[in-house]
Structure 1
Amino acid sequence: MGKTSKQTKKFQNKHLKHTIEHRKKAQDFKKKAAMRKKGGGAKEEPQVEAVKDDTKNFGEMSVDDFFAGGFEIPKGMEKSKKKLEDSDDDASSSDESSEDEEDMKKNLENLEKQDPEFYKYLKENDNQLLDFEGVNPLEAMSEDEEEEEDEEEEVVDEDDDKEVTNKGGADKDATKSGNKVEITTKLVEKWGTQLEKPTAKVIRNIVSAFKAAVNINSGEDYKYSVVDPKAFTELMLLVLKKVPIAVQSVVKYKTKQGVRTIPQNAQATQIGSILKNHASSYITLLKDITNTETAAIILASLYEVFPYYLSHRRLLKQIITAVANVWASSNDTDTQIASFAFINNVVREYPKSILETVLKISYSTLLQHCRKTNAHTISRINFCKNSLAELFSVDEKIGYQIGFEYVRQLAIHLRNSVNGKGGFVTIYNWQYCHSLDFWSRVLTICKEESSLRQLIYPLVQVSLGAIRLNPTAQFFPLRFYLIRSLLRLSNTGVYIPLFPLLYEVLSSTAITKSPKPSTLQIVDFEHNIKVNQAYLGTKIYQDGLCEQFIELTSEFFGLFAKSIAFPELITPAVLGLKRFTKKSKNVKFNKQLSQLIEKLNANAQLISSKRSNVEFGPSDKREVKEFLNNLNWEKTPLGQYIVVQRQQKEERLRLFKEAQEEEEKAKEEKKRKEEKEEEEEDEELAHLEDDEDASENEDMSD
């Protein structure tokens, strides 16, 4: 059986039942008229009743039963059946039914004289039968009905087109070139006036025009066209600011406990269809955002109509993905804040509906946009990690499920690398490192009783495994980066043995071997996880490693500066550092290590003096935890040392950034000069060619 045509489906849904009833009445009337002409014999009366009963059953059939077949067509209905079948082909219906139409007209003309009582009944109850004309039902279907049935196609109202174009020329707000309606400022003003008392029809036309304007460079054929930039700007402001207000005036939201829902009625369905078509315009605009002001207007408009997209899961994912791309890719902090505010607001309003979708899309989008990490992009990436980490606390159960899935993926990648599948390249890249760092932020800000805390142990194991995967000097920056993540995670109260990882750096040849002089630039450990081979064995790299060791070692022990067990914690470290200083020939580094050892011992003496007066033992965990709670860690000997170290680091970073900016400016200036010199050379060549042409012309004239 061939595929049912679109027209046939529409006929089945809208006109089949009416046509069957119509023809049933006509057939009954014909039978009655024929019997009355014969005088109404007794033998034929039962047959008439049988036909009536069969026709009644046939008329009460559902559409599905009718097309399923397997029933007996009553006598006298063969011609009606033939007409219905021929309506699918829409070719010979009028020819085959012309005979019936003439009979019907003659009978209707004589009905009032022959049976005035029956004629009166028909006039009162079914006046359409008296005005019967043979019409093909498919031809009678209006264009508006076809447009309303298909939500996926672009919805355009033909009646409004007539108002806009006005064939008589009365409406001058729009011009018609070919088959397209040109959008003008007057037309936009007219639409703005109509939105004061909006209807679904007006909103539909405005949305269709805006879709054509937004996709002007797509190459697709739309009914509307826009040439005037001012008209486009006014249309965009009209759609983004006034259309959401108009939508809510046509269909008001039901708000309960701060959650907006859409009422279930015909108007809401119609508006929903229009806004579904409008979603592609929002997505296109989000891809082309250039400034914060535009982003704020688009996102505010989208938020107002967001409830209409909740039931369309595929469309919802596309919208969230578009917003997440703005959030993860924009280098403008204000634009990032505006996009995250939108994500945060919709998640807080509909946590059960979209939270899981938002978290997964945002996480994958973040990883897509962090492949390239440098001094210019790190602030954007850190903002994304910190803001997304906040969303995982909205629903800790969903957050734990997603976190468990992604941490497990990281562990599988690490296991495959250890087993020789793919090598360490799959681990030693920015995406993997940012993933580990992101989850450390999530677990650091979650509550102490949160189920997310169960992920701390597997995350620490994966991070330690990644650090030890390739313990070469070239990847020491990656080691330092992951150690910082673990230091952050240590703030949860979990002890992570990080000093052995740091001490391994001291035993590497990059520290113990005499360095060679170099004129290379200072290593940027903040924005790199790998150094070039040229840095290995150089003094500039060795000095950088020494600074990183001092900083991270002091930060690690600073976490426990008020711990009652601090003296015992630093004992192995102090012995190892003293042993190293005796062997090392790096005078500057030895001096830094001696200062660190001194601060560690001073802090240990403070803790020992404070705990000598306590009356509780190590088994009293509550008292141990509250030990020196009233003392600020910055006032401890080690804390004061760390504060000074941080200030010095900030100063170094500031100088480093200034040097980078000056270097970039110098490169840009050099590039401009080269371009200018090339232009001047091109102009000189052009002048020489002109002179040569002129001289040739003179010679020819002579």
Structure 2
Amino acid sequence: MAEPQDSDGSLEDDLNQSLDSDADDSQNDEDDSNDVDIDESGEDDINGDGSSNDDGDSDEGDDWVNEAEHMKSLKNLQKTDPDFYKYLEENDKKLLQFHESDEDDEDDEGSVTHELPNKLEVDSEESDFEAEGEEKPSRSSNAVTLARVEEWRNELVSNPSPKSITRAVDLFHAALDRVTGEENSAFRIDGSAVFNAVIEMCVMDMQSSLVEFLKLTPSSVKNPDKSKKWVKVRGALHTYFTDLFKLMTGVASDHILSVMLKHLHSMCSFVACFPKISKTALKSLTKLWSTGEETVRVLSFLCILRLTTQQKGTLLNTALKLLYIAYIRGSKFVSMNSLPQINFMKQTLVDIYKLDPALSYQHAFLYIRQLAIHLRNAVTIHKKESFQTVYNWQYVHSLKLWVDLLSSAPDSSELQQLLYPVVQIILGCIKLIPTSQYIPLRFHCIQMLIKLGRETNTFIPVLPLIIESLTIVDLNKHHKKASMKPFDFTFVLRVSKTAMTENGFTDAVVEYVFQLLMECAAAHSHSIAFPDLIVPAIIQLKTFVKNCKVPKYNSKLKQILSKLNENYTFVNNARNQLSLTMNETSKINVFESDLKARGTPLSKYWEQLNKSQNLKRAKQATNNEKIANDGMYLPKLTKRPAASNAKKPVADGPVELFPSDESDFEFPDIEDENQPKKIKKTEKRTKNVKTKQVSRVAEDIDIPDQDDIVEELDINAI
């Protein structure tokens, strides 16, 4: 036995040290017991060199010594215990006749001699290897067939019991082993047909069988652990859910994953009875909710929603943390394909936050405080890294999440306390870098402020921020490039310097200013203070109209002025008919509600404009990209094949540039392309002929200006 090492005197260390020493001693004893070598004949190798004691004299000497000792013991037994010795004489004389030879024993009737076997069996790891001619035990008795699965399924449905439920769980575990390549279950699943039958049995019939076995009612189905028979299936369900989530993580097909999620949704009340498994389920479902296909995302959210509603006290806090982190990670990059997924995560996360406003306030306060700290560092440090922590999509989408939460819960007293800090953070983002390069981010922030003020019925001074955008960008600047495709600020926060030199940039700025002014003014168009609120904006717009030298921008700004003046006159006339004081808030609320119900000129115009804008965005998302890629409606110039040596007559009249039966385009008459070559040849002969020919061709070809082509080309109208 090994000596114990010095310890610090604690009881636990002493126990561990003694256990280690005992384990070493037992290991040494086991090693000593296995030191017996077996030779080919199966006999013991006593000497360790392959030799054995075959000397007959030594054997006879040993037998003589044993016989003498035995006789001496019998004599002592006769003296010490005569009664027992007498009993042996009467019942077992052979024991007392030890001195007789073995030959006499063999002649006696009923005598049995012990013979050594030809081979010795040793209990070691080598016993796993089979000898030649011996077959390994077959597992055919554990193989599952379709007939047996159907029989067990009928038993599970017709007469659910702990035995049938446990058998179904074991079959499901065997199916998982078939996928992972392990062989730890009592059954063996061979073939895809049997595998599908087992999965179908569990997915289709497990939930109904459990409800029937536990005798759950619609009111008690949410708490199955309160059933008296819950103990009988608790262990089996623990194994089943563990295997279910392992299988879901390895499934690559979205269709199969959707089926598994539907089954999990029906089993959520049983999953909620296991706290550890529920947290594991939330992690797996959160990953599918943020990265899966559209159907998988929706089903994952439904499972999360059911789990959190049934276990608010234990799971809701964990779910809010996991979902928010996944939302921020998934909103790092924004494109036309990823934006719908980000909006889905944002809307569903808002629904989860609304389950418990008090708990949501704690989470929102913490994350909004982090946003404020990043903004403060950017304002005070003035470094590129600090600016990048604010001017990125994750920061913007985090603000959009809290804006949507506050807008959807205007009656929550806890959440409305966060309205002021959120507005201040958004204003700080707008003023952090007030340059034309970051004007898309400015428009995103203004849209958040407009939505927040409209939904919470709170006045936020947004109109000055919108009109200020016209001063940031020089509308009278002459642009070097003409952009064929209009700018879209939906998927960008920053405009490159090259893009700012195109005329489409200023066009997009004026268009966004027009839409934001209409949206903001329409949100307050029914307010009794609208005439006073809109006067500064009208004055500034008139100043821009006088200074702007671009006609199309002037027409846009004049259109805004006309709509604002129209609504100004409408509200002012309705207000002049009232006789009330400023402290009569009830009458003011009735007046505003009446105007809102009837509809103001500005609100009606914005409703039609917004509807047309939504249709235009939908068309751009579906058709325009396909048109740009395929080019199915845009004509292309193609080169003619090389002319042969033979002379061909020149056709009189117009030449068909785009031969096609489906073409309805009409083109001006031009000369054959070989004609200019003749003009070049005649140039050597006479200069007057060349001048006449060039002038005649120039008169026949009507080439439009490039600016006109850009203005007339409207892809949306195709």
Aligned to 1:464: 427
Which of the pair has more CA radius of gyration?
2
| Structure 1 residues 441 and 640: CA distance shift in structure 2, 3 A | same
What is the identity, as a one-letter code, of the residue corresponding to 2:606? I
User: Deviation string for 1:84-130 (max 9, x for gaps)?
Assistant: x99x96989xx9xxxxxxxxxxxxxx9xxxxxxxxxxxxxxxxxxxx
User: Deviation string for 1:531-569 (max 9, x for gaps)?
Assistant: 333211210111111111100111011110000000111
Q: In 1, Cα distance between the equivalents of 2:410 and 2:483?
A: 49
Whether 1:248 aligns to 2:242 is: no
Give the Å deviation of 1:297.
3.5
What is the identity, as a one-letter code, of the residue corresponding to 1:272? R
Aligned to 2:288: 326
Aligned to 1:476: 439
| Structure 1 residues 269 and 594: CA distance shift in structure 2, 3 A | same
Whether 1:239 aligns to 2:202 is: yes
Aligned to 1:274: 236
Q: In 1, Cα distance between the equivalents of 2:416 and 2:552?
A: 42
Give the Å deviation of 1:248.
3.4
Q: What SS does the corresponding residue of 2:391 show, helix, strand or coil?
A: coil
Give the Å deviation of 1:489.
0.9
Aligned to 2:620: 656
Q: In 2, Cα distance between the equivalents of 1:608 and 1:428?
A: 42
In structure 2, which of residues 339, 343, 354 is the aligned counterpart of residue 393 of structure 1?
Answer: 354
What does residue range 224-373 of structure 1 map to in structure 2 within 5 Å? 226-253=189-216, 259-263=222-226, 268-269=230-231, 271-287=233-249, 294-295=256-257, 297-310=259-272, 312-332=274-294, 334-373=295-334
Aligned to 2:417: 454
**8 Å contact 2:357–2:412 — kept in the other structure?**
no
Range 287-296 or range 226-235, more displaced:
287-296
Range 423-432 or range 216-225, more displaced:
216-225
Say how many residue pairs are matched: 508
| Structure 1 residues 258 and 191: CA distance shift in structure 2, 3 A | closer
Give the Å deviation of 1:315.
2.6
**8 Å contact 2:214–2:227 — kept in the other structure?**
no
Q: In 1, Cα distance between the equivalents of 2:387 and 2:497?
A: 17
**8 Å contact 2:289–2:297 — kept in the other structure?**
yes
Aligned to 1:501: 465
The answer for unaligned runs of 5 or more in structure 2 is 3-13, 16-21, 34-86, 88-135, 633-718
**8 Å contact 1:286–1:326 — kept in the other structure?**
no
Aligned to 2:452: 489
TM-score (norm 2): 0.64
Q: In 1, Cα distance between the equivalents of 2:190 and 2:441?
A: 53
TM-score (norm 1): 0.65
Q: What SS does the corresponding residue of 1:526 show, helix, strand or coil?
A: helix
**8 Å contact 1:328–1:369 — kept in the other structure?**
yes
Whether 1:605 aligns to 2:569 is: yes
Q: What SS does the corresponding residue of 1:628 show, helix, strand or coil?
A: helix
Q: In 1, Cα distance between the equivalents of 2:377 and 2:514?
A: 34
**8 Å contact 2:483–2:503 — kept in the other structure?**
no
Q: In 1, Cα distance between the equivalents of 2:255 and 2:175?
A: 20
Question: Cα RMSD between the aligned structures?
Answer: 3.6
User: Deviation string for 1:345-388 (max 9, x for gaps)?
Assistant: 33333333322222222222222222232222222222222222
User: Deviation string for 1:251-274 (max 9, x for gaps)?
Assistant: 445875774240376x63453333
In structure 1, which of residues 535, 542, 562 is the aligned counterpart of residue 506 of structure 2?
Answer: 542
Q: In 2, Cα distance between the equivalents of 1:463 and 1:412?
A: 13
Q: What SS does the corresponding residue of 2:487 show, helix, strand or coil?
A: coil
Q: In 2, Cα distance between the equivalents of 1:296 and 1:647?
A: 35
Aligned to 1:624: 588
User: Deviation string for 1:401-421 (max 9, x for gaps)?
Assistant: 122122122222222333337
**8 Å contact 1:326–1:336 — kept in the other structure?**
yes
Whether 1:586 aligns to 2:550 is: yes
Give the Å deviation of 1:324.
2.7
What does residue range 518-537 of structure 1 map to in structure 2 within 5 Å? 518-519=482-483, 521-537=485-501
Identical-residue share of aligned pairs (%)? 26
Q: In 2, Cα distance between the equivalents of 1:497 and 1:509?
A: 21
What is the identity, as a one-letter code, of the residue corresponding to 1:514? H
Give the Å deviation of 1:506.
0.8
Range 361-370 or range 514-523, more displaced:
514-523
What is the identity, as a one-letter code, of the residue corresponding to 1:564? I
Whether 1:551 aligns to 2:515 is: yes
| Structure 1 residues 318 and 531: CA distance shift in structure 2, 3 A | farther
Q: In 2, Cα distance between the equivalents of 1:233 and 1:340?
A: 26
Give the Å deviation of 1:185.
2.7
In structure 1, which of residues 573, 577, 580 is the aligned counterpart of residue 541 of structure 2?
Answer: 577
| Structure 1 residues 175 and 666: CA distance shift in structure 2, 3 A | farther
Give the Å deviation of 1:311.
5.2
Aligned to 1:416: 377
**8 Å contact 1:515–1:542 — kept in the other structure?**
no
Give the Å deviation of 1:217.
5.2
**8 Å contact 2:289–2:300 — kept in the other structure?**
yes
| Structure 1 residues 299 and 606: CA distance shift in structure 2, 3 A | same
Give the Å deviation of 1:453.
0.7
Aligned to 1:128: none
In structure 1, which of residues 609, 615, 632 is the aligned counterpart of residue 579 of structure 2?
Answer: 615
User: Deviation string for 1:261-290 (max 9, x for gaps)?
Assistant: 40376x634533332233343324444667
**8 Å contact 2:441–2:493 — kept in the other structure?**
yes
**8 Å contact 2:261–2:300 — kept in the other structure?**
yes
Q: In 2, Cα distance between the equivalents of 1:381 and 1:644?
A: 27
Q: In 2, Cα distance between the equivalents of 1:391 and 1:346?
A: 11
| Structure 1 residues 489 and 228: CA distance shift in structure 2, 3 A | same
What is the identity, as a one-letter code, of the residue corresponding to 1:460? V
| Structure 1 residues 507 and 214: CA distance shift in structure 2, 3 A | farther
What is the identity, as a one-letter code, of the residue corresponding to 1:399? S
User: Deviation string for 1:588-624 (max 9, x for gaps)?
Assistant: 1111111111111111111111111212222222222
Give the Å deviation of 1:648.
3.6
Aligned to 1:193: 154
**8 Å contact 1:330–1:380 — kept in the other structure?**
no
| Structure 1 residues 528 and 257: CA distance shift in structure 2, 3 A | farther
What is the identity, as a one-letter code, of the residue corresponding to 2:168? I
Aligned to 1:427: 390
| Structure 1 residues 618 and 370: CA distance shift in structure 2, 3 A | same
Q: In 2, Cα distance between the equivalents of 1:214 and 1:518?
A: 61
Q: In 1, Cα distance between the equivalents of 2:271 and 2:220?
A: 20
Give the Å deviation of 1:319.
0.6
The answer for unaligned runs of 5 or more in structure 1 is 3-67, 70-84, 96-109, 111-166, 668-702
Aligned to 1:564: 528
Range 653-662 or range 396-405, more displaced:
653-662
Aligned to 2:404: 441
Q: What SS does the corresponding residue of 1:619 show, helix, strand or coil?
A: coil
Give the Å deviation of 1:651.
4.0
Q: In 1, Cα distance between the equivalents of 2:244 and 2:355?
A: 27
Give the Å deviation of 1:581.
1.3
Give the Å deviation of 1:437.
0.7
Q: In 1, Cα distance between the equivalents of 2:629 and 2:188?
A: 44
| Structure 1 residues 358 and 246: CA distance shift in structure 2, 3 A | same
**8 Å contact 1:295–1:339 — kept in the other structure?**
no
| Structure 1 residues 423 and 211: CA distance shift in structure 2, 3 A | farther
**8 Å contact 2:262–2:299 — kept in the other structure?**
no
Whether 1:383 aligns to 2:347 is: no
**8 Å contact 2:403–2:452 — kept in the other structure?**
yes
Q: What SS does the corresponding residue of 2:368 show, helix, strand or coil?
A: helix
Q: What SS does the corresponding residue of 1:459 show, helix, strand or coil?
A: helix
Give the Å deviation of 1:446.
0.8
